[in-house]
Structures are given as structure tokens and as C-alpha cells.
């Protein structure tokens, strides 16, 4: 079968449909020149809060900025410790370091890829202030147990929901379970803007108010500064695009789930050599990534590549072995499960517009690879 390259994600297909609506709002924003603050930002904040099922959403300039602000709103600083998974995105650690606090890694669960709940308890000290689980790849972390630990030890929870827009845990959407949820709207995410953008969700009026002060220089009244703040705004153009796309998010997530079920079914019965994503009971994975595991990962990447299928590795190196974090003093062997997992994981294409033809093509390649 002749086929063009199958990309890991097709942003063109995803963004074409909204061109008309987008041009209309762009014209309006240009004509009234309210580029930063304004009704599009407020509208999106209200819509997103409602969608996630919380009282407040605060737009920010990126997921990274959101993590930093969320920690700042909890007064995290020097001498405080924050527990986070060792296989997540780098900016989770940086956010902690920006506030002069200490990131403390926990190993991951080899099946769900999320923070190993049993590990969290071992990492708690008198200095621990926050647990920051990531809902990695779109799969909710085990929040019931994390909530219990936080309650027992009087800790706060910041959910990194940057990969899990719309995912549900039991009856709740992620981002509505801890004290705050942080979202990235980077263009490739399940809900993506046309540039950098992010948001923080919370049920606390105090936190929402503080976050709004923190995102604009710590300003309480024009040119009066209450505390040292940041500059991390969501702008009007990004907010307008996000409002248009939010309406399509559930349908797009359903498409991802349908494709995941199809992969699972065929791989589960015909390709025993790989493990397919673990399905947590009572939760809905939104498959930002569809991640399989195989010890022959690198050969499979090459094979797919040779046959014009792109794949991805998130992430190839666990955080404790990153050069930029050498100063934290971790070494190889400290997180054995994450180290092994990073060598075996592979993301296959799963975007909503992936055609049946392309998915069958990928599946057949994987089958053929393991027959040899
Ligand atoms: C994308 C991402 C971030 C950072 O978001 P940006 O908007 O790129 O700053 C943080 N954590 C996770 C898990 C992510 O996937």
C-alpha cells in the first residue's frame, strides 16, 4: 500500500475547520485593540471553569507559567519540598526551582506511567508542602490515594493536567480534584491555542484572586504592588481561539478514545510482545499520547520510520538524569522503574483526524515487525 508519511500529530487538519470563526474574532480584536485584557479572556476563563467543573479558571501565558504561579500562590519557597514524578515534563521541576524550593522525585508506576503512590509516602519529610502529580499522556493519576496522603500529612495538591484536558477520574474532571489544576494550551495539546497559553483551575476564591494578582506583577490596583509578582497573562487572541476549540474538545477526545480501543483490541489479541496502555477503572483516559511498551523499542522506531510512520518518545531520559538537574544530586539507579520505562515506551499516532487507513497501516507494520 502506498501511503504518505503518517505524522504523530496533524495540526493542519485540526486547525483548518476553525479558520472562518477565528478570522472573525481576529478582526474584532484588531479593530478594538484590546490585545491583552478583555472579554475573550474572561469568557474563556468562565467556559473553561464550567467545563472542568470548578468555580474559577485563571488564564496564564503557558503551562510552565501556570505551575510557577500555582506554587507561588501556595507560598512555596526556600526550605519547602515538592514531591513530583520523575517521568514528567522538565518544566514541573523548573517551576519548583524558580521558587527556590526543593523538587523531590518519586518513581513511577510501570503500568499507568504515573507517580507511584506508594513512593510518595516514603518521600514526605517535615519540609514537604506540596504533592504535584502529573496526569501523564492523558491518564489520570490515582487521586483518591493522593488525596488521602495529602489530608493525613496536611499537604497541598497541584495537579499537572497539561496533558489531560477533559480526562475524568471517577466522577470528576482532572484539574478539579486537588487545590489547583494546571493546564497548558500549547498548540499540540488536546486543547491547543495558536501560540503559548495556559490556565489554572481551582475552587478556592482566595487562590483565584491571588493568582490574578500574581499573573500581573503582583499588582492590586493600577501601579500599586502588593507582592512580587510575575508576568504571565493569557492574551485575547489565544483566549478567543481556545473558546472556539473548547466546543470541539469532547468530540476530539472521543475520537482519540475510539482509536485507542481499536489499537488495544488488535494489539491485545495479535501482538503479545507489546503492552498497551493500562486502563484505570472508573476513569477516562484522553490519549494525548497512545503509549506502548516494548524492549525492542529502538528497532521498532527505525522500522516505522523506514515505512514513513512517525512515532515519539516522552520522555527518553528521566528527569533525575538530565544534565540541567545535575545539581539535585541524583544518580543512575535511583529510579529503576522510570529508567527502564524510558527505554521501552513509544507513542504511536493517535490524533482525532487519523484515518482508518492510516491506523490500519500502522497496525500492520507493528504486526509485521514482531513476526520477524
Ligand atoms: C506541556 C507540558 C507542560 C508545560 O506546558 P507549556 O505550556 O509548554 O509551558 C508541563 N507539564 C506537562 C506534563 C506538559 O505536557
Q: Please report which confidence band the pLDDT of residue 16 belongs to, taking 50, 70 and 90 as the band edges.
A: confident
| Inter-residue contact 124 to 350 (CB < 8 Å) | no
Strand ordering across the sheet containing 128-131? 56-60, 198-202, 180-184, 156-160, 128-131, 81-85, 102-106
Provide the whole-model pTM. 0.97
Q: Say how far apart CA 317 and CA 49 lie, in whole Å.
A: 34
Query: Measured from the CA of 67, which atom of ligand 1 is nearest?
Result: 10
What per-residue confidence (pLDDT) applies to 3? 59
Q: What is the CA radius of gyration of the chain?
A: 21
Reported as a single tens digit per residue, the pLDDT across 54-77 is 999 999 999 999 999 999 999 999
The total number of residues written for the chain in this structure: 372
Mutate which of 61, 113, 115, 186 to test ligand 1's pocket (most atoms within 8 Å of Cβ)?
186
Q: Please report which confidence band the pLDDT of residue 170 belongs to, taking 50, 70 and 90 as the band edges.
A: very high
Reported as a single tens digit per residue, the pLDDT across 256-266 is 999 999 999 99
- Give me the mean pLDDT over the 158-167 stretch: 98
Instruction: Read off the C-alpha cell for 310.
Output: 512517525
The dihedrals phi and psi of 75, each to the nearest 5 degrees, come to 60, 35
Query: Measured from the CA of 189, which atom of ligand 1 is nearest?
Result: 1
- Contacts by residues 89-92 (CB-CB < 8 Å, ≥ 24 positions apart): 89/63, 89/134, 89/160, 89/162, 89/315, 90/319, 90/322, 90/324, 91/63, 91/64, 91/67, 92/67, 92/132, 92/134, 92/160
Percentage of the chain exceeding pLDDT 70: 99
Percentage of the chain exceeding pLDDT 90: 92
Residues 6+ apart with CB under 8 A from 230: 65, 68, 69, 72, 214, 215, 217, 218
Burial (CB < 10 A; 0-12, 13-18, 19+), residue 79, is exposed
Residue with cell 519548583: 96
Mutate which of 88, 163, 189 to test ligand 1's pocket (most atoms within 8 Å of Cβ)?
163
- Identify the bridge partners of residue 218 per DSSP, sorted by sequence position: none
Query: Measured from the CA of 163, which atom of ligand 1 is nearest?
Result: 15
Query: Measured from the CA of 314, which atom of ligand 1 is nearest?
Result: 15
Residue 278's closest CA among 345, 219, 331, 333? 345
Q: Is the peptide bond before 336 cis (omega within 30 degrees of 0)?
A: no
**Residue 350, CB-side half-sphere exposure with 13 Å CA sphere:** 29
40 C-alpha vs ligand 1 centroid, how far in Å? 23
| Inter-residue contact 175 to 158 (CB < 8 Å) | no
With a Cβ cut-off of 6 Å, ligand 1 is lined by: 62-64, 88-89, 91-92, 134, 160, 162-163, 184, 186, 196, 198
* pLDDT above 60 for 2: no
- Give me the mean pLDDT over the 290-298 stretch: 97
- Give me the mean pLDDT over the 314-334 stretch: 97
- Give me the mean pLDDT over the 270-299 stretch: 95
Reported as a single tens digit per residue, the pLDDT across 204-222 is 999 999 999 999 999 989 9
What per-residue confidence (pLDDT) applies to 43? 98
What per-residue confidence (pLDDT) applies to 326? 96
Q: What value does the mean pLDDT of the chain take?
A: 96
Amino acid at each position: 500500500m502506498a501511503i504518505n508519511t503518517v505524522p504523530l500529530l496533524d495540526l493542519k487538519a485540526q486547525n483548518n475547520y476553525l479558520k472562518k470563526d477565528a478570522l472573525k474574532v481576529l478582526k474584532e480584536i484588531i479593530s478594538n485593540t484590546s490585545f491583552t485584557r478583555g472579554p475573550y479572556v474572561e469568557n474563556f476563563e468562565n467556559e473553561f471553569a464550567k467545563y472542568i467543573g470548578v468555580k474559577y479558571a485563571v488564564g496564564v501565558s503557558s503551562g510552565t507559567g501556570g505551575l510557577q504561579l500555582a506554587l507561588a500562590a501556595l507560598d512555596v519557597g526556600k526550605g519547602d519540598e515538592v514531591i513530583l514524578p520523575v517521568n514528567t515534563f522538565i518544566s514541573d521541576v523548573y517551576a519548583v526551582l524558580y521558587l527556590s524550593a526543593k523538587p523531590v522525585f518519586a518513581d513511577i508506576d510501570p503500568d499507568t506511567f504515573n507517580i507511584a503512590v506508594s513512593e510518595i509516602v516514603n518521600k514526605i519529610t517535615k519540609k514537604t508542602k506540596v504533592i504535584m502529580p502529573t496526569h501523564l499522556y492523558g491518564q489520570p493519576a490515582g487521586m483518591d490515594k493522593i488525596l488521602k496522603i495529602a489530608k493525613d500529612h496536611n499537604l497541598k495538591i497541584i495537579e499537572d493536567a497539561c496533558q489531560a484536558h477533559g480526562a475524568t477520574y471517577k466522577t470528576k474532571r482532572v484539574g478539579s480534584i486537588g487545590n489547583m489544576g494546571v493546564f497548558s494550551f500549547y498548540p499540540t495539546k488536546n486543547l491547543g491555542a495558536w501560540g503559548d497559553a495556559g490556565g489554572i483551575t481551582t475552587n478556592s476564591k482566595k487562590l483565584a484572586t491571588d493568582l490574578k494578582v500574581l499573573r500581573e506583577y503582583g499588582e492590586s490596583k493600577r501601579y500599586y504592588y502588593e507582592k512580587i509578582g510575575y508576568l504571565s497573562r493569557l492574551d485575547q487572541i489565544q483566549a478567543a481561539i481556545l473558546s472556539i476549540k473548547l466546543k470541539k474538545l469532547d468530540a476530539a477526545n472521543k475520537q482519540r478514545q475510539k482509536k485507542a480501543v481499536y489499537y488495544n483490541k488488535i494489539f491485545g489479541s495479535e501482538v503479545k510482545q507489546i503492552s498497551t496502555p493500562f486502563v484505570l477503572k472508573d476513569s477516562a483516559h484522553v490519549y494525548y499520547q497512545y503509549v506502548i511498551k516494548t524492549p525492542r523499542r529502538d528497532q521498532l522506531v527505525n522500522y516505522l520510520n523506514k515505512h514513513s510512520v512517525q512515532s515519539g518518545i516522552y520522555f527518553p531520559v528521566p528527569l533525575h538524569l538530565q544534565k540541567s538537574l545535575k545539581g539535585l544530586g541524583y544518580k543512575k539507579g535511583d529510579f529503576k522503574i522510570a529508567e527502564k520505562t524510558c527505554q521501552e515506551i513509544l507513542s504511536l499516532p493517535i490524533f482525532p483526524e487519523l484515518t482508518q487507513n492510516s491506523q490500519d497501516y500502522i497496525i500492520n507494520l507493528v504486526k509485521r515487525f514482531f513476526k520477524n
